[in-house]
Structure 1
Amino acid sequence: MSRTVTAPPPQAGLNDWKAVWTRLLPPDRHRAVMAFLERLRDPAARLELVCDATLNTLARRKGFRVETLRRMNPHQLADVLLPHVPVVLGAREWNLLFLGYFADYKTAIMCRFLDLCDIPHDDRGFVVGGDDKIVPPPDPARIQETLVEEFGVMEVGIYFHVLTLMDPDLWQFLMPLLPGLDQAMTTAAQNQTPPPVVAPPERTALDISEEFTQLDRVVMEQIIATLAQEDRALTPDELVDLVESVHALDTGRQRSYFHLGFLDALLPERRPDMSRPEMNEERRQWYLAGLLSGHVRQHDHDAVRDALHRYAAIFRAASSTPGGAGACLLGEVHAYLLTQGFQNEATRLLRGQRRHLTPATATLILQSATDALREGNGAIANVLLAELREGLPHITLDPADRDHLEARMSRRLGQALQCQGHFSGAREAFARLIAEDRLISPRLYADMGLVLGGFRSLTELVLPETSDRAQALLAQIRQGERYFADAVSRFGQMALGAHHALGIQGFLHWLEHDSTDDAREQALVHVNAALIGMMTATDPPDPARPLLLERCHFIQAVLMMARLDAASAQAALETWHMLARSGSTRWPDRMVQRLLESADLVDPALAAELAESLWHHHGSAVLPLIGRPEWLARSPCLLEALQHLCRRGGEISRQMQWERWSLLVAAALVAGRVAVAQEGLDGMEHLAHEDSRFCEPMLDQLADPARLDPAWSETDILRARFRLYRRLGRDPEAFAQLRTLFFALRDIRPLEAAQTLALFDEYGAASAQYADLHLPVVEADHDEDTALQEQLAAGVDLTVLFVGGNEIQARYSDDLVREITDQWPGVQVTFRHTGWSSNWGREVSHLKRQAAEADAVVLMTMMRTTLGRVLREALNDPPRPWIPCTGTGRQALLQSIRHAALIGLRHRERAVTG
């Protein structure tokens, strides 16, 4: 639908507008009129001329003054206009009426239609970019089928007719579809019997108890007008004079004391006064009725509580005295007392006045019972309905109205029993109503189905966490399936409760037993029908409705995503985001898993987006659910969050720490985040060093070096595997790693190769395991630089930093320092034994500074693999002299320090001469 800011030009087809109007259900007509009036009275719409013309025509039709209509509030004016819409509205007004109706209440079908037509639009269903963006789609009939499946033939037929009436040229491609839609709409209307809508009378500011005469009503109107500061209303002083004058004319007139109490409650400068000389018991009751009515009208809860406490005896007397002030209280304050926590007072009042009920108060009590049921309070509803049943014979009603009120009351009684778990009594009540066909309502059939399944309400159809619970729930639903199916067959889309139950049944059946396209689409039909019914319902808000809507939207998202096409997947994703914005419900993991897996089949990016949403709302609790490396890799946010989570691992078990580090490594490698993968491997290596249970899993992780490239090099992996096998006491396999490491280092890093060879003897390997390993002579024999050694012996100053090792190497430190300084007195050696501490990240900056200040550095391979990598990178940029120390014994440490001193001195001299 294209957006129009001002009134559209008149068009032909007036009879067709009326035909469309007759297709709307009564609640939808009321909505359309309300939307129309709101736009007429909106100054920004600049529709003053249209508003004047409409009110003038209506005033002539009704014989009213135009000013009378202007003073009415929207609800009052809508009630006046509604019966005369077909004769009052012209083509221009029809355009405005339906434009407002669809904009305010039918955005879902508008947006879906434009999506299917690939027409850009905003979130309210209006075309963006002008009418030139509207081009005929390739297959309008297919679009119609999709819309009918999701919204029903009546909704689609009305929408298409309105579009073509508003602009026949723009929407000409819809014209061929209209005859078929008309026939389908007629058939659907014949097959449906809409239930009669009996709404309780809406209480306005002038809805006054039937206990009052016309004089009382005039006084009440004046009081309310003064409080509302209406034009030409009495001033407060004049109002007091009026009430006092009415009272003075006849002090024996009991109802005048109601106005006194009402006035004392509403005017700020007045205070309650029960001490008037002429007051007697009955007059005090009427005065209290007015006082409470005024406080209730202002919703002054504290004042109501204070009055009930202070005048408790008067209230009890009024409640127990049939008629009079008690009957007035029943109509004016009963509903308020019931909902604001004064249940005892409300029950006492109803019990005392049940023989003096009027049709209006009976309707109010029935509504109060309905509200209690919606709140899940079956006990209160049962008390109200029992008292109403006792008082019903004393109400003056037409036979037809009495029969209908009794039927509604019987249904509520059945619901009250159902709410309290008395399923046998509820079943009898519902069965009797269905057999007598006294109450034509789809909800009655849904209630019967729920009772047979042992459900107190639709909210108990909770999506189950386990397959066993799903089977039990399916068995329960099957008990009442016949009645759910009857409701759908008889009432179509109006049977939203039955559709809801059948939608859950179909969804669970598809999930557990029959993952076919037909089963999925059948479940989707019921879920969509339930959603449409709940979103377009005109009855008072139900506290459970948001929960039911959330549940249906979630099922819809899972089923739509399972279609595995891009358009449905995008719609499912939008539904999911809507759910995420509205709340943080944690849905069953296996169902969310199905949603994620389906999204992954369509586009892994969709699964990553869903995973990110889950993490945002539920945190690390969903990690087992979203823990696929490819999903995490696509989301920098998730990868960073997992990294922070791993760093705080001290709060959880080591097993969980291992799982998180493993997942981080896999995801980081997929994402190409080498530094993150290195941190993950470092964390896993630390766990394996602390707890031998993780040595085998770490060896499995290192089994394929190519998989860890470029996070760890081949030599990094060989050293780590050597240490792991030694940790497990599996020396033959450890020495096999040393052999492979020797050959990897021999030709490119001969010093490290020599130290690796020394490890065989250091760890007690049999000579047969390394006797065949030889270094090339030119590499194995070091020609000592005599000149450099002479300078060192002469005391030239030089600093060597030794990094790595643990408490074993720390035992050699003092001896090594003495031996070095005895030979080379100017050489200063600093040891930093990092061991396997997990706090190396806090020390690395200090180590880098020390390394930069030293003339040469020795990096022992007995340190965290990632720490060694970080320090080597720091020493290579810019290049500074360093050598590795592969051995772990005293001699290997001494050899490395001596070699580092020579290299450091040589590097210093070359820097000076260069």
Structure 2
Amino acid sequence: MSRAGIEPAVRKGHEAWRTIWEQLDAAERSRAVIAFLERLRDPAARLERVCDATLKTLARRKRFRVETLKRMGNPQLAEVLLPHVPAVLGAREWTLLFLGYFADYKTAIMCRFLDLCGVEHDERGFVVGGDERIRPPRDMEAVTATLVESFGVREVALYFGVLRLMDPELWQFLEPVLPGLWQDLEAQGEKPEEGAGPVSCAPTPAREGGGALDVSEDFTQLDRVIIEQILATLSRQDRALTPDELVDLVESVHALDTGRQRTYFHLGFLDALLPGRAAEMNRPEMNDGRRHWYLSGLLAGHVRQRDHEAVKTCLRRHADALRAASAIPGGAGASLVNEVYPYLLEAGFTQEAIRLLRGQRRHLTARTVRRVLESAARALHAGEAELANVLLVELKEGMPHAALDAEEQRELHPLLERRLGQALQARGNFAGARTLYQGLLESGGGEDPGLLADMGLVLGGFRSLEELELPQDAEQGRNLLAQLRNGRPYFSQALERFGRAAVAAHYALGFMGYLTWVEAEGLDAGREEALDHVNEALVGLMSDAASLAAEHHALLDRCRFMQSVLLMARLDRGSARAAMEAWRAIAGEMPALAGLGVQRLMECADLVDPALAAEIAEAVWRRHGESAPGIVERPEWIARSAYLLDALLALCRESAGRDKAGQWRLWSSLVSAALSAGRVEMAQEGLDALESLASDSRFCQPLLAWLEAPERVDPAWSETEVLRARVRLYRRLGKDAEAFAQLRALFFALRDTRPVEAGQILGLFREYGASPEHYADLSLPAGEAAETGQEADLDRRLQEGAEVTVLFVGGNETQARHAEEVIRTVAADWPGVRVIFRLTGWSSNWGREVDALARQAAEADAVVLMTMMRTLLGRALREALNDPPRPWVPCTGTGRGALVESIRRAARVGLRMTLQESP
């Protein structure tokens, strides 16, 4: 065998691989799957992608989580995979499976074959030196005969069949001997299915669900003999009839007595199973009874093959016949319910399955009773309580008439009552469930720890253990705790009597202890007791076969989560490492993390090692996205992670569709985190967004409160920027006295460094209608008042028509109303002055305009920047005017007079700059 088989060339269909698979017995299949998994999960093999794809396919089929399968050891995983190998494996995986099987268990035949071919190989039977060393022997017939003499026909046929499927071109010299091997197998009653060798009329064995039929009570000994012969032929037993002999037997029985209805079951069974035969529901002699028996056999055959499409087609074409057979108790209907019912329910033909069970509930075998109970349990696990209830009610009606001995009745009756109670509980009928559970407990059912736990849950008003979900807030936690206390006596009783076996009770008590500890904010004794219960529940769920059921995944994750929180709360590094192991096992998969618990986990982790808190916060954000800020709410947690800062910024930028209160929470959180992390530009963007929200008066007071603490804005905003923002906010709220106080503070902040702006502040007092007592004591530095006389020459030139372009930036609707009048007023005195208004308002889209404004400013002779604009926009424009340097003047006022005065000042500055630059 060549190792290159891992990358197969063009393959035949999967049916050929399945044919080889069917030739292996149960032990051989198990060994093959174990070998396959060992290679698949070996890091040195570098087959991670193949492994992931296989596990994902298996997970979808079993309704498991991939992480659950990954945590299983190879033997445990093999048990899960084994029944689903034909449905899960593709060509590459089949190649790996048989490569491992032969390498681990069939090295003798591999080595012997290569020796006979004269091909160098290692001790395990793999070719040394590559595929080009493989060459056919001189006498392939003789080599085959030698191998058959040593290993038998079956072993040689399987080995050659696998080689041919792995690489048909490489091993084409095997083709001449393969037909002979298949013929020898046929002679021994071991003929393979169609696809492994030459096409024949051999029956296709069932891929799943082998074993004897659960035959109808109406079948005689002759029918049972015929069925045994059919099954023997299908399973290729020694001395079984050939397919032709089997057909001859059934048709002979039919010919001897054409009125014998039960023979039509065998005819339908054969027509479904034997290649080349087609269904004949409309034989000339058919009547309703015969048609029902024929349909029963036909469906039984298709079901044994797990041929879903054939079953679907049959149900569609013969729906009326199936309804009629289902409604007539006994006979063909009894055969259908005992052989076909479980598959119908599993495959999604729910109505047909229920109708069949309802009509035949008094004709059930012990095997079918167990199947109905299993079906109800699966429905409960899948959250289909109504379906489970229907199945159980029908079964309860039919149980007294089922073919059960006294011991089976004693075993199955309590199980039926338990399942009925669970169905009622799942539907919210707690009184009915309590009555059934109480009856079971009084009759000895108290020996079941699960029953005691169910009783406790019912008293708490819980439909199932899965309803014990971790709370999102303290109020929800208190409600859950109050409910659970009603059932505590039964949980405790289960623990006292069964110890570790009471897994559900351990979970419930651990859950209660966790909630109690969270509410009490951490008593050490209560925490350790809760942790003990959680650990026991976790061990029980992982070791119990039930832990593989889909509904237990949530319980496992919740146990690990509670374990991580309780361990982290010990506040020592050893426990913190264990807590992080539990957390990492669920961080990427848990569908809904409890906000309250995650916050407690991060708080404790922060005390042990802040890096752990950052890791947890990142995992929460990756898992929960938009809802994460409600959990990861502390700015210091976000500030420690560049990923979280960038993620929060992206979420803020996309928050326009949220309500404004939600936007405020996001942006304010970003500002705090960004300042803590030293990301000043990010903090400036956040403050700009808060200022935009404050255009709505509802957010003026929150922003004013924010600006009271310097550490919330420094160094993102300067002192003067904060003062200007406060003036705008107080004016918007109609609080003039507070606004005037801020204007005074702004005047003193500007007077010595920017006297022009300070002078405009004095004008702003008058514009706002402030009484003189607010500003009478304010004065500019000496020399500023004489500025007007020094500019007489500039005014004269402007009156004579000197050309100057002034760009006015800022303002909103108020300034828009004054714009045309201002332009006319300036032009009347200075005809050469051209004024361009760009009113930015309070739009949050100013970032799109700043580049265009900067270009216009570069083309103007001077710029007026209105101070009553978005803080960050004003800063961006001032920076743009410095490169290249362009003259600008501020406009602090908002009225027409302030606009005219600012534009006049800008025109003088622009003209002076032009004259200075002239030669």
Mark yes or no: TM-score above 0.5: yes
| Residues 582/851 of structure 1: CA separation in 2 closer, same or farther (3 Å cut) | same
Q: Which moved more, 1:751-760 or 1:535-544?
A: 535-544
Change (3 A) 1:231 1:868: farther
Measured after TM superposition, the shift of residue 912 of structure 1 is 5.8
**Deviation string for 1:266-289 (max 9, x for gaps)?**
457544324445556654443222
Equivalent residue runs for 1:671-820 within 5 Å = 671-691=677-697, 693-705=698-710, 707-782=712-787, 784=790, 792=798, 795-810=801-816, 813-814=819-820, 816-818=822-824, 820=826
1:391 paired with 2:398, answer no
Task: State the Cα deviation string for residues 304-351 of structure 1 (Å, max 9, x = none).
Answer: 42355231475147x413xx5444323211223444566676566556
One-letter amino acid matched to 2:629: L
TM-score with structure 2 setting the length:
0.70
**Relative to structure 1, is the Cα distance of residues 331 and 532 closer, same or farther in structure 2, using a 3 angstrom cutoff?**
same
Question: Partner letter of residue 900 of structure 1?
Answer: A
**In structure 1, what is the equivalent of residue 162 of structure 2?**
none
Q: Distance in 2 between matches of 1:408 and 1:729?
A: 75
Secondary structure class of the residue paired with 1:799: strand
Displacement of 1:590: 3.1
Q: Deviations over 1:691-744 (max 9, x none)?
A: 2x4433333222244542222111112222233333444444433333332222
Q: Counterpart in 2 of 1:632?
A: 638
Answering whether residue 840 of structure 2 is matched by residue 834 of structure 1, we say: yes
Partner residue of 1:299? 308
**Deviation of 1:890 (Å):** 4.7
CA distance in 2, matches of 1:710, 1:720: 15
Residue type of the alignment partner of 2:308: H
- Deviations 1:47-104 (Å, cap 9, x if unpaired)? 5358889xxxxxxxxxxx997998999xxxxxxxxxxxxxxxxxxxxxxxxxxxxxxx
Instruction: Work out the CA distance in 2 between the residues paired with 1:439 and 1:72.
Output: 57
Where does the alignment leave 5 or more consecutive residues of structure 1 unmatched? 9-26, 54-64, 74-201
Superposed CA deviations along residues 390-446 of structure 1, whole A, max 9, x for unmatched, are: 125x43x4x655543444444445445544556566556545655565785432332
Judging changes above 3 Å, is the alpha-carbon distance between structure 1 residues 823 and 316 closer, same or farther for their aligned structure 2 residues? closer
Which SS does the other structure have where 1:273 is aligned? coil
Whole-Å separation in 1 of the counterparts to 2:426 and 2:736: 71
Matching residue's letter, 1:391: H
Q: Which moved more, 1:33-42 or 1:677-686?
A: 33-42
Aligned to 2:372: 365
Could you say which residue in structure 2 is the equivalent of 1:859?
865
351 and 773 in structure 1: CA distance in 2 versus 1, 3 angstrom threshold? closer
Change (3 A) 1:245 1:70: farther
- 1:780 is displaced (CA, Å) by 3.9
Structure 1 residues 884 and 448, CA, compared in 2 at 3 Å: closer, same or farther? closer
Q: For the structure 1 residues 584 and 462, does the alpha-carbon distance in structure 2 shift closer, same or farther, using more than 3 Å as the test?
A: closer
Give the SS at the match of 1:320.
coil
Asked if 2 retains the 8 angstrom alpha-carbon contact of 1:506 and 1:520, the reply is yes
| Residue type of the alignment partner of 1:488 | L
State the distance in 1 between where 2:547 and 2:723 align.
72
The equivalent residue for 1:213 is: 224
Return closer, same or farther for 1:391/1:373 CA change in 2, 3 Å cut-off: farther
Aligned residue in 1 for 2:888: 882
- In structure 2, the CA distance between the partners of 1:525 and 1:69, relative to structure 1 (3 Å rule), is farther
Q: Which amino acid aligns with 2:603?
A: E
C-alpha contact 1:805 1:863 (8 A) present in aligned 2 = yes
- 1:196-595 matches, within 5 Å, as 204-210=209-215, 212-223=223-234, 243-244=250-251, 247-248=254-255, 255-266=262-273, 270-276=277-283, 279=286, 283-297=290-304, 298-300=307-309, 301-306=311-316, 308-312=318-322, 315-316=325-326, 319-321=328-330, 324-339=331-346, 346=353, 349-350=356-357, 357-374=364-381, 375-377=384-386, 378-392=388-402, 394-395=403-404, 397=405, 400=407, 403-419=410-426, 426-427=433-434, 430=437, 433-434=440-441, 437=444, 440-464=447-471, 467=474, 470-513=477-520, 515-539=522-546, 542-566=549-573, 568-569=575-576, 572-573=579-580, 575-576=582-583, 578-579=585-586, 581-582=588-589, 584-585=591-592, 587-595=593-601
CA contact (8 A) 2:212 2:231 kept: no
Q: In structure 1, the residue corresponding to 2:385 is in which secondary structure?
A: coil
Distance 1:789 1:29 in 2: 94
Tell me if the contact between 1:308 and 1:315 (Cα under 8 Å) persists in the aligned partners.
no
For normalisation by structure 1, the TM-score amounts to 0.70
**Partner residue in 2 for 1:105:** none
Superposed, 1:57-76 pairs within 5 Å as none
Distance 1:232 1:814, change over 3 A: farther
Q: C-alpha distance in 2, partners of 1:768/1:540?
A: 80
Structure 1 residues 651 and 365: CA distance shift in structure 2, 3 A: closer
Contact 2:363–2:401 at 8 Å: present in 1 too? yes
Residues 704 and 729 of structure 2 are in contact (CA less than 8 Å); yes or no, is this contact kept in structure 1?
yes
Deviation of residue 504 (structure 1)?
A: 1.6
Query: How many residues align structurally?
Result: 741
The question of whether the paired residues in 2 share the 8 Å contact of 1:718 and 1:738 is answered with yes
**Percent of matched pairs sharing the same residue:** 52
Alignment-derived partner of residue 904 in structure 2: 898
Counterpart position of 2:52: none
Separation in structure 2 between the aligned mates of residue 387 and residue 413 of structure 1, nearest angstrom: 12
Distance 1:67 1:467, change over 3 A: farther
Confirm or deny: 8 A CA contact 1:261 1:288 kept in the other structure.
Answer: yes
One of 593, 598, 602 as aligned partner of 2:604: 598
Contact kept, 8 Å, 1:695 with 1:724, in 2: the verdict is: yes
**2:759 partner amino acid:** A
- Partner Cα separation in structure 1 for residue 799 and residue 230 of structure 2: 119
Distance between the aligned counterparts of 2:814 and 2:80, measured in 1? Answer: 85
Contact 1:284–1:314 at 8 Å: present in 2 too? no
Residues 870 and 251 of structure 1, relative CA distance in 2, 3 Å threshold: same
- Contact 1:372-1:380 within 8 A present in 2 as well: no
Matches of 2:500 and 2:108 in 1, distance apart?
39
2:18 paired residue number: none
CA distance in 2 between counterparts of 1:607 and 1:844 reads: 40
Deviates more, 1:35-44 or 1:719-728: 35-44
CA deviation after TM superposition for structure 1 residue 762, in Å: 3.7
Q: CA offset at residue 792 of structure 1?
A: 4.7
Shift of 1:802: 1.9
Which amino acid is 1:511 matched to? V
CA distance in 2, matches of 1:348, 1:565: 61
Letter of the structure 2 residue corresponding to residue 508 of structure 1:
L
Secondary structure of 2:340's counterpart equals: helix
Task: Mark the CA change 1:292 to 1:725 in structure 2 (over 3 Å): closer, same or farther.
Answer: closer
Asked whether the 8 Å contact 1:506–1:522 carries over to 2, the reply is yes
Shift of 1:869: 0.9
Amino acid at match of 1:500: Y
One-letter amino acid of the structure 2 residue matched with residue 549 of structure 1: L
Greater CA deviation, 896-905 or 245-254? Answer: 245-254
**Distance in 2 between residues matched to 1:886 and 1:313, nearest whole Å:** 88
Shift of 1:850: 0.6
CA 1:411 to 1:853, structure 2 compared with 1: closer, same or farther past 3 Å? same
What are the ranges of 5 or more consecutive residues in structure 2 without an aligned counterpart? 1-36, 43-71, 86-93, 110-149, 159-206
Conserved 8 A contact 1:453-1:480: yes
> Retained in 2: the 8 A contact 1:369–1:384?
no
